[in-house]
Amino acid sequence: MGVTYVTSRDAIMKWYCLFLKGRSEFTAETGLLEQGFEVYLPKAIDNKTKKIKPLFPEYMFINLEIGVDDFNAVKYTKGVRCFTPTQNPTQVPTHIIEELKSHGNNE
């Protein structure tokens, strides 16, 4: 069993939901990862086509620190439409992200 260290930055990082442009989930994921952001795009395998698809079409999660990370860089990434809701991005509780990840739906 490994030891997990929590830095002060980890303690103030918060998850937010992004609303994406149609069928742009993988483009947005790649663009945000290339900029160094931590993102989570839950995925599943389509039983008919056997292809990997987003579990929640047009939505993904991003881990940010308000006042430090550049929200404009996120908003202007190819494939990103806006934060949800658009006026004041609402935090997604970490336990919800952890629960999604624990179900192994990120093929």
Q: How far apart are CA 89 and CA 17, in angstroms?
A: 8
Q: Is the pTM of this model over 0.95?
A: no
Q: How far apart are CA 87 and CA 50, in angstroms?
A: 38
- Dump pLDDT digits (tens) for 1-44: 454 444 555 668 999 999 999 999 999 999 999 999 999 999 99
Burial of 70 (0-12, 13-18, 19+ CB in 10 A): exposed
Burial of 43 (0-12, 13-18, 19+ CB in 10 A): middle
Q: How far apart are CA 2 and CA 48, in angstroms?
A: 39
